[in-house]
A and B are shown apart, each in its own frame.
Chain A
Amino acid sequence: MKTTGAILLRTLLERQGIRTIPGIPGGAILPFYDALHGSAIRHVLARHEQGAGFIAQGMARATGRAAVCLATSGPGATNLLTAIADARLDSVPLVAITGQVSQALIGTDAFQEVDTYGLTLPITKHNFLVRSASELLETVPLAFQMAESGRPGPVVIDVPKDIQNEEIDVGPLPEPGRAMTADACPDGEIEALARMLASAQRPVLYIGGGVISSGAAGLACSLAHRLSAPTVCTLMALGAMPPSDPLFMGMLGMHAALGTNLLLEEADLLFAIGSRFDDRATGRVADFCPRATVAHIDIDRAEIGKIRRPFLGLVGDAAPILRRLLSRLPAQDRPGWRARAAELRSAHPLRHPPRPEEPLHPLNICRFLGETLPSDAIMTTDVGQHQMWVAQAYPVRRPRGLLTSGGLGTMGFGLPAAIGASLAMPGRRIACVTGDGSILMNIQELATLAELDLPVAVLVFNNAQLGLVRQQQELFYSRRYEASQFGSAPDFAALARAFGIRGERLDADGDPLAELAEILASPGPCVVDIPIREGANVLPMVPPGSANRNMILETEPASSHA
């Protein structure tokens, strides 16, 4: 069959099951855009390549399957970098396809030439610079296989323009790339783990995003109950255990409830499943779970012992390992330990004014969203105080119910990720909780949202500040507020209307939460500007570098403008 590189690339993507590709065209990728004309693949035109990258991430995070984003060479590729790096740190399967100048021009500082291969080398699982059209036959399936296999991650395929135009004869097409099954753990290791768990007095499950990737959330919950083990989640694992579960202790670490961090001090066995001992979770590593021996399951062998040497480390996919573990683990009742967890939880609740007194306290809004949004709603967040308030108080009821930038901590993630989640999960209500700082970092995607008319509600927690920066300056820099206060702010409701989207601003007087419920009940996109108290802090908080037991519980009421 005679074809071109561009048509071959399109065909291979169609065979991968790709139905939607966000991106932005430009000179070096135009042959491929021409091949998309008339294809079954729907192209979603983002308004900035970073937006396209995060739309693809929203699709991938909502489904667990690799999603594709598209950009041209030069600035198109560099604008994708943040979304690619973000996917790397949160282990999100992403295939980024970039145009490149023709091979004859590579190395000549041609128009819109940049070394995409070199730039993406440290932020991808792997990257390819395609050197002939026939290479696509191997590269494209391999890119998907790599993105989805083992620990998922981003893969870049950089395709020079002459290769998109190259005419070739192709024979039978390769099978689509699929996630490969991880090697099974030896029986002996599972048995050793079962013995170790059975002999523990005070076990705690410490589950991370790997449990979501593996589809092992239900198994992890069964294990927690089999062992009577209280369970802590990383930010990436919220949703793995229902928040109503009596064994659920919420998020651990820097912004945990104090009782959760104290429980980890008492544990004699820490069972880490798909978690990577991130510094925001562990605090000062030498003081993390000081009484506990560690068992660790991870699909990435390099994570075992990277931060904390485990007594027992199992390399493999969490779901089959937990299934085999459950098949040989008798129920163990630890009533004293369960009671201790319940005691610590009730002794150290999150502190905030009651709802009637301050309905627009951030924690009250998050709880209210939990009551108001449909149970299958998907929440995305940006990065900052609002993100941590959501993690503390919004009940994430199912895996992939919260999409958030954990590792890289990218402001600007929330809106495009919400668009992507909505494209991947039609009919679901999507809420993006963001801040007045974060939303401006990808505000242009409101145009994409207006065009697509998706049920995405953008909720701006507006304190006229870079709140988490201001909080750190208050706590650790003697209230010297440098560059954390905005001197002017847009009218977000008017801004939304300018984009053709419903825009509202809640009034703290009256019944703002009832108004919010009314707005969320109507279909279609909206932006809701929610004024919150300017000095509100995310508490409790472990000072960076400190042991998790040393939490700041209260701060003096801060003057909003120092």
Chain B
Amino acid sequence: MPDPISSTRTPASVIELLVRNHPGTMSHITGLFSRRAFNLEAIVCVPVDGGATSRILLLVPDEPRLEQVGCQLEKLHDVLELRLRPDLGPSFFAGIAGLMAPEPVSEAP
């Protein structure tokens, strides 16, 4: 079965965000993507620093507007840091996708 992420046609970049961890932060980030018609291929979020902040990895297509995406993300009050993670390719997300959709091990109840 072709992997949905690694088979995306456009090359992709990974943006890492450090954000304040409170209700609403994720809405601000995903809302920005839908409002500005940016594409968001994948998102991973984990709490760090005992839960005060979270780290988010965003898989976004490499397009000319990537810089604008970054600028708009940096303007969000709850986004504390933004950096690109060229070391994490789409294969990183493909690995996660593998974890989330393992081969069926048993019949559904």
Does B44 interact with chain A (Cβ within 8 Å)?
no
In the complex, chain B residues whose CB is within 8 Å of the CB of A125 = 77
Most buried by B among A117, A122, A305: A122
CB under 8 Å from chain A, chain B span 62-87: 67-68, 71-72, 74-77
Cβ-closest chain A residue relative to B70: A302
Q: Are B71 and A302 within 8 A (Cβ)?
A: yes
Q: Which of B6-14, B27-35, B97-105 contacts A (4 or more CB under 8 A)?
A: B27-35
Are B68 and A302 in contact (CB-based, < 8 A)? yes
**Between A and B, how many residue pairs show CB distances below 8 Å?**
29
Least CB separation from A155: chain B residue = B77
Neighbour of A121 across the interface among B27, B67, B68, B72, CB < 8 A? B27
Asked whether A301 is an interface residue with its Cβ less than 8 Å from the other chain, the reply is yes
Q: How large is the interface on B (under 10, 10 to 19, 20 to 34, 35 or more residues)?
A: 10 to 19
Which residue of chain B has the shortest Cβ distance to A305 in the bound complex? B67
Q: Does A300 contact B (CB under 8 A)?
A: yes
1/0 per residue, CB under 8 A from B, across A121-134: the answer is 11001110100000
Q: Complex: how many Å from CA A300 to CA B72? A: 9
Known: A118-B27, A121-B27, A121-B31. A306 touches B68 (CB 8 A): yes
The bracket for how many chain A residues form the interface is 10 to 19
Give chain B residues whose Cβ lies under 8 Å from the Cβ of A126: 76-77
> Which residue of the partner chain A has the closest CB to B71?
A302
Across the interface, do B74 and A301 meet the contact criterion of CB distance under 8 Å? Answer: yes
Bitwise interface map of B from 11 to 45 toward A, beta carbon under 8 Å scored 1, else 0: 00000000000011001100110010000000000
Tell me, in angstroms, the Cα distance from A306 to B28 when the chains sit together. Answer: 20
B35 touches A122 (CB 8 A): yes
Q: How far is the CB of A114 from chain B (nearest CB, A)?
A: 15
Q: Give chain A residues whose Cβ lies under 8 Å from the Cβ of B27.
A: 117-118, 121
B75 to A300, Cβ gap below 8 A?
yes
> A122 contacts B31, CB within 8 Å?
yes
Contact of B68 among A127, A146, A305 (CB under 8 A): A305
A301 vs B68: C-alpha distance when bound (angstroms):
9
| Chain A, Cβ-Cβ closest to B36 | A122
Q: Write the nearest CB–CB distance from B28 to chain A, whole angstroms.
A: 6
| Inter-subunit contact A301/B71 (CB<8 Å) | yes
Cβ-defined contact, A121 with B28, below 8 A: yes
Task: Across the interface, name the chain A residue whose C-beta is closest to B27.
Answer: A121
A143-161 residues at the B interface, CB under 8 angstroms: 146
Question: B75, A302: Cβ atoms under 8 Å?
Answer: yes
Closest beta carbon of chain A to B31's beta carbon, Å: 5
Closest-CB distance, B26 to chain A (whole angstroms): 11
- Tell me which of B23, B24, B32, B72 has the highest count of chain A C-beta atoms within 10 A of its own C-beta: B24
List the A residue with the shortest CB-CB distance to B28: A121
Cβ of A210 to closest chain B Cβ, rounded Å: 15
Which residues of B line the A interface, CB within 8 A?
23-24, 27-28, 31-32, 35, 67-68, 71-72, 74-77
Sample of 10 A–B contacts (CB below 8 Å): A117-B24, A117-B27, A121-B24, A126-B76, A129-B23, A129-B24, A301-B71, A302-B68, A306-B68, A306-B71
New A-B contacts (20) at CB < 8 Å, excluding given A117-B27, A122-B31, A302-B72? A117-B24, A121-B24, A121-B27, A121-B28, A122-B32, A122-B35, A125-B77, A126-B76, A126-B77, A129-B24, A146-B77, A300-B75, A301-B71, A301-B74, A302-B68, A302-B71, A302-B74, A305-B67, A305-B68, A306-B68
Which 10 pairs from chain A and chain B are nearest by CB?
A: A302-B71, A126-B77, A122-B35, A121-B31, A302-B72, A122-B31, A301-B71, A121-B27, A306-B68, A302-B75
